[in-house]
Amino acid sequence: MPQKPNPLLCEQCQPWNLSRNVAKNFCHYWFPFHVKYTDLVRYRGCLICRTVRTIVDALLAEHDLLQAYHTSHIMIRNGGPYFLDEGPRERLGFSFFTHRSDLSNPGFIAVRILMGLAIEAFPFDVELTSTIRKMPSFEVKVTPQIMLRYTYMSLHQRLVSVEPWETSYFDISMLKKWIRACDRSHGQICSGEVKYQTSEWFVGVIQ
C-alpha cells in the first residue's frame, strides 16, 4: 500500500519523508535542487522549506552584501546532504546506508546531516527556468547541521521534526580520507578560478 503524502511537507519536498532517501543522498536531486526565496515564504508550512528559510534569514540578517539584494533576487541551490562518515558500506557488491540511521530511540529514526546550501544573489528577479543558467553576482555557501526525526510503524515512516544538531568533534583522519578521495575523483577540476565573489561558511546557523 503506497504511503500517503506527509502534510508537513510541500509537494516538492515529499521525498524527504523517507529516511532512506536522505541516507542514500537521493535528496540531492530534490528539496528541490533550485528554489526561489519567495517560494520558501509561500511554502512556510513545509518542514524542509521552513528550515531552509530560517538558515537563509539568519544569513540575510548578518551579511551586508546579501542585504543589498531584494529577496526576489535570491535563489537557493541544494548541493547536499553530506554525512560525517566514509560513505556507503559495501558488502557482496551492494551498498548499504543503514549506519546513517539512528535507531537508539524506540519508535523514532534520526538522520543527522550537513545540509549543503548555496545562497545565490542576482541583479534581477529570479525565474527557475532561465536564472539557473546564469552566473550569480554573489554567492554564500553554508553547511548547517540538522537532525531529521522520523516516526515509523510497520513499513510506514513520517518526518515529524527538523532540529538543530551539532557534532561534538570532527574525525581528522576521516577528513584526510575525504581530501584524498576528492583528489582521486576530481583531480585538477576543483582548482578552477572562481569568477565571482564567494564567501565560504563551513558551519551555518539555525536559531
CB within 8 Å of 58: residues ≥ 6 apart: 204, 205, 206, 207
Question: β-strands 117-121, 74-78: how paired?
Answer: antiparallel
CB within 8 Å of 95: residues ≥ 6 apart: 88, 89
Q: What is the pLDDT at residue 91?
A: 57
Q: What is the pLDDT at residue 203?
A: 39
CA dist list (Å): 165 to 29, 114, 148, 150, 203: 23, 9, 9, 15, 11
What does the alpha-carbon distance between residue 26 and residue 81 come to, in Å, rounded to a whole number? 9
pTM score, whole prediction = 0.75
What does the alpha-carbon distance between residue 175 and residue 188 come to, in Å, rounded to a whole number? 19
Q: What is the pLDDT at residue 56?
A: 92
User: Per-residue pLDDT for the chain (207 aa), expressed as one digit of tens each?
Assistant: 567 899 999 988 888 998 888 877 665 545 557 888 999 988 889 999 999 999 999 988 888 888 888 989 999 988 778 777 666 666 555 555 677 788 888 888 898 888 889 898 888 888 866 666 677 888 888 888 899 999 987 667 899 999 988 776 666 676 666 666 666 666 665 554 434 333 333 333 332
* CA angle (32, 34, 36) in 5-degree steps: 105
